Amino acid sequence: MPVNFTATFAKRIDSNCPMTCVEARSGMTVEPGTIYLGRGGYHLGVIKKRSGEVIVRTPSRPPHLFIPSVDVMMQSILGVYGADTIGVLMTGMGDDGANSMVDIRKAGGLTIAESEDSAIVWGMPGEAVARGGAQFVQPSWNIANTLLNKLD
């Protein structure tokens, strides 16, 4: 996502969603009920401190075709949360995130890919499906309900 887009996008999500949405900044403590949107020009990751606290990281490395990269983010989350990781991959070109969806599923996490019915570009979610990384394939309007049903 472009550098000048993510702050405005986070505000738009925040004003239209019951959860809080913020543009992620290094050092933020990960809190339940908060959506952390990756900043343009930086990856989004997390680390777990010895105290158990999970902290947001926003490195500009590793070099990647996409920054922020879905694969870099998902691998970071999987490293902290393991089988409790939930991966949702929605519309986008290419295959960023597809391999990580496979890894999350193999680790016992939950994975959902947006279906071709609603995706503007079915590249990323389509690759996750083709590689076996999607347990559920849903149109965008069903993803939230699928999540809620699986979390109950």
The 10s digit of each residue's pLDDT in 35-44 is: 999 999 899 9
Distance, CA of 30 to CA of 85 (rounded, Å): 14
86 and 57 co-located in one domain = no
Picking from 68, 90, 123, the residue at the C-terminal end of a domain is 68
pLDDT on residue 54: 98
Is residue 12 a part of any domain in this protein?
yes
Which helix (H) or strand (E) element contains residue 37? strand 34-37
53 and 99 belong to one structural domain: no
109 domain residue, yes or no: yes
40 in the same domain as 88 = no
Rounded Cα distance between 48 and 46, Å, is: 7
Q: Which pLDDT score is estimated for 131?
A: 98
Residues in the chain predicted with pLDDT less than 70, given as ranges, are none
Cα three-residue angle 104-43-143, rounded to 5 degrees? 45
Instruction: Give the pLDDT score at 17.
Output: 87
pTM higher than 0.75, yes or no? yes
Predicted confidence at residue 62, as pLDDT, reads 78
Task: Check whether residue 147 and residue 100 sit in a common domain.
Answer: yes
Of 118, 124, 9, the C-alpha closest to 71 is 124
Range of the domain at 57: 1-68
Per-residue model confidence (pLDDT) at position 57 = 96
- 64 burial (CB, 10 Å; 0-12 / 13-18 / 19+) is middle
Distances (CA, A) of 71 to 18, 32, 40, 65, 117: 27, 22, 15, 11, 24
pLDDT given at position 2: 78
Residue 33: inside a domain, yes or no?
A: yes
- Amino acid 69 reads S
Residue 29, pLDDT score: 98
Domain count, the chain: 2
